[in-house]
Structure 1
Amino acid sequence: MKISNNLVLEVVLVLVGVLLSIIFLDISELYWKSDSHWLIQLILSFIVSSLIFGAIGMVLERNSRTGGIFLLAVFLSITYVLYERGFLLSIYGIYGFILGMLEGGYLSFYSYFNNRFDNLAIYSRRFVTYFCVLTLLYLAFINLEYFQEISQFSASDTDKLFKTIIMVGSLVAFSFLLRATIRGIRAYDVFIYGPSGSGKSLLLLAIYKQFISFYSGKRNEFILSEGNKEDLKIESMLIALENGELPKSNLRTDLAMYKLSGKNRLKPVGITFVDYGGEHTDNFDKVRYKETIEGLRKLFYSDASYLKKILENAGTTSEVDEILRQYVGTPKLNKILGDTDASEIKKMYGNDNTRRTEKDITKSKKSLISLLNKKLDGLEKKLGDLDGIQDLQDYHQNEFAEYVDKIIFACVYKRFESAGKIIFLVDGDYVVDFHNENNNGKNHLIKLFSNYSDIINKFGNEKSYAIVVTKTDKFENLSNILENSTEAKAIEHKVYDMFCEIPTFKEIVHMSNRTPIYLYTVSVDATMEPHIKDEDTEMQQKSLKIYPWRVGEIEKFSF
């Protein structure tokens, strides 16, 4: 279920925006002449066409659809007026429209087949601004010419000035509404996050089976553990389940990252799980992240950091030349930069017999610092990618194990930053304990939702969020409830009403007015009966099989 349904508000915004655009077109119709300057015709027709064909791509994605419909309604109307006035019928108007069609069509094609609607939204917002600014300049130029030619204002001139103000106001207003309504997310990149004990491992296995069955899926794993590495592999957890055993829990220093990737029709889809001991990640502060990254750079790339520092501190050209002589063409630089980049610097700087001017030395210094910055900045990219993290461990095994807490924090922060959709897990045991005398369940949920609220605040509105309550079988008998039935949806509403008693959850409800946030209740075993006792061995064995219930809702949200 969607926590806050903004459909009515979105429809009102679109209708108001379309009305403003009609007012603008009604007043500005006479300005769009077939004999306008060729450059104005070329650029405006290009922008209008680009926005129309870009909007078609936005309509194909759920979170971008409202903005796409709004764009189409406004700019198809503008296109009709420009066509009727002959503005688009000139050779430059036609060229501009065709070029815009090709660019907007390409961006829609790229966004759809790469599931990257965030780039399309950025592009569309930018072009709405260009349209607004260019149109304002065009109208200002024409009106300025007109008012300069008159010696004194008449009643008709006053009326024209009033209409000009209305026209400009309506243009700025509907452009602002368009920019506010256009949104897009990196839809292929989904991150599942939850505290220790929230059911991540079993949910991972349930979604993995779905990926293999329906999305031509494959897995990629990175596991850091002193004694648990084999047990944390997906294959080992599947074997454990087949043998009637629960997957082993992570130790405090364990880090396991799982990337499931596949294809939903022609679009790439992927889900990332980060499984860890549940610590080191309470405070997702940007300053702390920057400090952590800087510390890890000095740890993993100490030679690159040192070389950059001494180059920047070198005061004279001769000092720079001496430093370059010590590094260029040596194995040290190859180790720091890699063979390709080191060869590039050597080619530029030359060898001992090369005669170099001050300009040559300065150029070599700037190029080397640029390559060192590229190397250092690449650490953040590596921390967001499983293969990159594996490379860091392969080349820095001792340091990696020693600073695992900082690496976990940086990895999780980077996943939050880059993911387009984020799924928060809530342990169903907290729901079971919600009304206990000691308020254990409720207290845990107050803290948990406070953490999730902070994360949504810090990582912005250009994402979709889902709160997924696991272990629904612990508090509801699901054996006779179909996944898509009214009764199943009633369970979600019941849980939602319960959560609304928690002030920190109400914060999230308020955020849902501007950010898409969903709530789902799921179970990896619909055959379990509620409140099973740990000592009931037979039922415990039964509970170890995967019979997912409403896990498909996570897939619908994700893909």
Structure 2
Amino acid sequence: MRIQGNWRLLSELPAAGFILLLSFLLITYGGRIEVPSISGPGVFWLSFIPAFLIANAFGLALHEQSRRGSLFLFAGFLPVLHLLSQHDFLNTNGLVLGFFAGSLLDFQVLSRNQFSSLARYARSGSRFFFLVLSCYLLIRLLEFVYPFSIEGIRQAFEISSEELNNLGIAFLAVFFLLMSTTFIRGIQASEIFVYGPSHSGKTLLLLALYSHFVDFYEGTHREIILSSDREEEKVWQLSKKSEKKLRIESMLAELEGGITPKSTNRTDLAIYELRGKKNGLLPVEFTFIDYGGEYTEDLEPKKYYRALRSLTEKLSGNEKLSGNEKLSGNKKLSGNEKLSGNEKLPGFSVEALHRQIGTLSFLELLKNKYAKEAGDQFHNLILACIYKKMKTAGKVIFLVDGDYILDYHGEGRKELTTLFGHYFRLMDQLGPDKFYALVLTKTDKLKDLSEIPDNSEKAGEIEAEIYSLLDRIYTFREIQNLAKRVPIYFYTVSVDATLSPQASKDLPEEQQGITQIFPWRVGEIAKFGF
């Protein structure tokens, strides 16, 4: 269920109205400007680019977080086509080919669930178009004061000719349209980060998602695992034995043998990519990071910066980062980024390390060729990977331990108050350009799910009942308020719907009864990744 309604779109209507106003000024005053004749190739490209970007607008409209960019493209370039028609600069071949090329790009993006790529292309194309147009108008304006002098400028304003007024207003409209291209944004919808404290159910949720992908999406998976079985004087050594235990097939085999997989500890990092096809056609991807819940308190910019600095010094010699470097988001690093002569990791600058940390290919490189260096910096490596993945993910899932609901009238409400306050700060830190979901695990401990289909009306009632308990917590209501501006969802799930409800959360983990995977409403989490 979605927390609050879709208020975000309504809040973006004023921005769309501003773009329409700028476009109206452009077509009104730009239509009165005397324009010299343009050659055939010029007319073709003047038609091709707007048609290409309008086709992109249809693609961006299919995802909520990129819909603002869609509004900009429609409001900005449909009037541009009207302006071009006023000057008889429309080319049929350019229009058709532009719309066709834009539609092909839309299809490619939809097939990969990568709206961020489409937004990037649309933003670049829009900036190029409006930059060229503003330069042309600026040159025409400067012709009125040539040769350049204070007297020439004064005379130009005294004359106040209609042509000068038209050029000036059209230039300002195009300039502000150029500045407004920041509205065009998208998210990496297939990049999903799962965040949760220790024992909240990350590992078992992974297995449930894997089984859902295999059953319904013709799913396969890839994984990269770095694990250590001992820690001595803060120097960790990678262990193939520990790594094997974190493979999906090993954990499923343990379940078959009646053993519940242990929670991931602080010496483990595993990244799993689940891939499948929705309806046998559209690819679906889900990137899942499993890590020790102890790191949840360390995921903040300063600690990430320190971890990355330590990694850089270890992997690439004695290089130091300058104190004013900022590492948030996708911002590139500044400063002295070249490696020193005694570099240990050839080909990787500080910027490259920041950009590639957390990717499967980079972790594979560290594991295969730089195991010792990675082992010495294992804590920093895990922390940097987790934070970077959380920062770049298009969607973030926050896990809520169902045990807190089971003990709601005891310590549970207190724990939930603290947890939701922490989650609100993270959402505020990560920003509004993401999707968020609160997922309550272990629903089987609260209700008997064995006879309740996960897509039934009764399942929805259970979710609503649990939601009503959370609604009494002030920090949760603060998240509700945030949900008026940011898309936030709430789900209740279980990895084994055949279990009987438990009267106590005090049973040891190995006695909690999960020895098989029968997912309940886990499909809703998979849909969240579309």
Q: TM-score range by the shorter chain?
A: 0.7 to 0.9
1:409 and 2:380 are equivalent in the alignment: no
- Whether the aligned pair in 2 keeps the contact of 1:118 and 1:183 (CA below 8 Å) is yes
Distance 1:454 1:43, change over 3 A: farther
Tell me, yes or no, if the aligned pair for 1:280 and 1:406 is still in contact at 8 Å.
no
- 1:388 alignment partner in structure 2: 362
Partner Cα distance (2:245, 2:157) in 1 = 86
State the Cα distance separating 1:557 from its structure 2 match: 0.8
Q: CA deviation at 1:170?
A: 7.1
* Structure 2 counterpart of 1:473, from 444, 452, 467: 444
Q: CA deviation at 1:383?
A: 3.2
Deviation at 1:286?
A: 2.4
How far, CA to CA, are the matches of 2:467 and 2:169 in structure 1? 46
SS of the equivalent of 1:225 reads strand
- Please state whether the residue corresponding to 1:504 is helix, strand or coil: helix
In the alignment, which of 206, 209, 213 is matched to residue 208 of structure 2?
A: 206
Q: Would you say the 8 A contact 2:23–2:75 is kept in 1?
A: no
State whether residues 32 and 85 of structure 1, in contact with CA within 8 Å, keep that contact through their aligned partners in structure 2. no
Q: 2:395 aligns with which of 402, 405, 421?
A: 421
- Residue-by-residue CA offset, 1:59-106 (whole Å, 9 max, x unaligned): 3434324532553355334424533541214xxxx6765675476445
Q: CA RMSD in A?
A: 4.2
Aligned to 1:64: 66
Asked whether 1:123 is paired with 2:121, we answer yes
Per-residue deviation, residues 189-226 of structure 1 (Å, max 9, x unmatched)? 22222111111122111111112223332223314031
Tell whether 2:495 aligns with 1:524. yes
Matched with 1:345 is none
Determine the C-alpha separation between the residues in 2 that align with 1:84 and 1:408: 59
- CA shift for structure 1 position 238: 1.2
The alignment status of 1:290 with 2:305, answered yes or no, reads: yes
Change (3 A) 1:175 1:394: closer
Match of 2:274 in 1: 260
**TM-score with structure 2 setting the length:** 0.76
Q: Give the AA of the match of 2:445.
A: K
Among candidates 243, 248, 254, match of residue 262 of structure 2: 248
The answer to whether structure 1 residue 555 and structure 2 residue 526 are counterparts is yes
Structure 1 residues 42 and 502, CA, compared in 2 at 3 Å: closer, same or farther? farther
Contact 1:224 1:254 in 2 (8 A): yes
Alignment pair present for 1:273 and 2:308: no
Deviates more, 1:463-472 or 1:163-172: 163-172
1:20 counterpart SS class: helix
Which structure is larger by alpha-carbon Rg, 1 or 2?
1
Change (3 A) 1:164 1:198: same
Query: What letter is aligned with 1:526?
Result: A
In 1, the alpha carbon distance for the partners of 2:169 and 2:132 equals 17
TM superposition shift of 1:131 = 4.8
**C-alpha separation between the residues in 2 aligned to 1:401 and 1:266?**
41
Per the TM alignment, residue 34 of structure 1 is displaced from its structure 2 partner at its CA by: 7.3
Q: Is the 8 A contact 1:231 1:248 kept in 2?
A: no
Tell me what 2:245 maps to: 231
Is residue 447 from structure 1 mapped to residue 449 from structure 2 by the alignment? no
Shift of the alpha carbon at 1:230?
3.6
Q: Is the contact made by 1:192 and 1:424 (CA closer than 8 Å) also made in structure 2?
A: yes
Distance (whole Å) between structure 2 residues aligned to residue 127 and residue 522 of structure 1: 43
Corresponding residue for residue 188 of structure 1:
190
Aligned residue pairs: how many?
487
* Aligned-partner residue type, residue 83 of structure 1: S
Q: Contact 1:220/1:386 (CA < 8 Å) preserved in 2?
A: no
- Counterpart of 2:17 in structure 1 is 16
Q: For residues 283-305 of structure 1, what are the alpha-carbon distances to aligned partners after superposition, in whole Å with 9 as ceiling and x for unaligned? A: 33323322211211222333xx4
Question: Residue in 2 aligned with 1:347?
Answer: none
Which structure 2 segments of 5+ residues have no match?
A: 146-154, 230-240, 322-340
Task: Please tell me whether the aligned partners of residues 138 and 171 of structure 2 are also in contact (alpha carbons under 8 angstroms).
Answer: no
- What is the TM-score when the length of structure 1 is the normalising length? 0.73
Structure 2 distance, partners of 1:466, 1:2, is: 9
Deviation at 1:429, TM superposition (A): 1.1
Contact 2:131–2:178 (Cα < 8 Å) also in 1: no
- Residue 220 of structure 2 aligns to which amino acid in structure 1? K
1:558, distance to aligned residue in structure 2 (A): 0.3
**Match of 2:289, SS?**
strand
- In the alignment, residue 390 of structure 2 is paired with which amino acid? F
CA-to-partner distance for each residue in 1:369-411, whole Å, 9 max, x for gaps?
Answer: xx5xx35544445531234324323434444344322222111
SS of the counterpart of 1:279?
helix
Paired residues of 2:495 and 2:520 also in contact (CA < 8 A): yes
Instruction: Supply the distance in 1 between the matched residues of 2:319 and 2:71 (Cα, whole angstroms).
Output: 53
1:321 corresponds in structure 2 to none
Code of the aligned partner of 2:122: S
Mind listing any 5+ residue stretches in structure 1 that lack a counterpart? 309-326, 338-370
2:83 corresponds to 1:76 = no
Provide the residue aligned with 1:357 in structure 2. none
For the residues of structure 1 that align with 2:36 and 2:315, how far apart are their CA atoms? 63
1:407-428 C-alpha deviation (Å, 9 max, x unpaired): 2211101211332222111111
Counterparts of 1:168 and 1:204, CA distance in 2: 54
Separation (CA, whole Å) in 2 of partners of 1:518 and 1:500: 14
Change (3 A) 1:489 1:51: same
State the one-letter code of the partner of 2:302: V
Aligned equivalents of 1:531, 1:175: Cα separation in 2: 60
Structure holding more helix per residue: 1
Q: Secondary structure at the match of 2:28?
A: helix
User: Partner amino acid for 2:292?
Assistant: G
**What SS is found at the alignment partner of 1:49?**
helix
1:151 Cα deviation (Å)? 7.4
1:61 & 1:531 partners in 2: Cα distance?
A: 40
Distance 2:10 2:487 in 1: 13
> Residue in 2 aligned with 1:349?
none
Q: In the alignment, is residue 456 of structure 1 matched against residue 427 of structure 2?
A: yes
Structure 1 counterpart of 2:405: 431
Q: Deviations over 1:165-196 (max 9, x none)?
A: 9877877777777743x331112222222111
Distance 1:442 1:77, change over 3 A: same
Aligned to 2:463: 492
Matched letter for residue 262 of structure 1: G
Cα distance in 1 for residues equivalent to 2:30 and 2:86:
9
Percent of aligned pairs with the same amino acid? 38
How far, CA to CA, are the matches of 1:234 and 1:246 in structure 2? 13
CA change 1:513–1:45 in 2 (3 A) is farther
C-alpha contact (below 8 Å) 2:406/2:505 kept by paired residues: no
Matched AA of 2:31:
L
Mapped partners of 2:204, 2:445: distance in 1: 14
Q: Name the CA distance, whole Å, in 2 between partners of 1:67 and 1:306.
A: 40
Secondary structure at the counterpart of residue 437 of structure 2: strand
1: CA distance, partners of 2:291 / 2:157: 75
For 1:58, give the aligned amino acid: L
Identify if the C-alpha distance between structure 1 residues 40 and 10 changes in structure 2 by more than 3 Å, giving closer, same or farther: farther
Report deviation, 1:278.
1.5
Verify the 8 A CA contact 2:50 2:77 in the aligned structure 1. yes
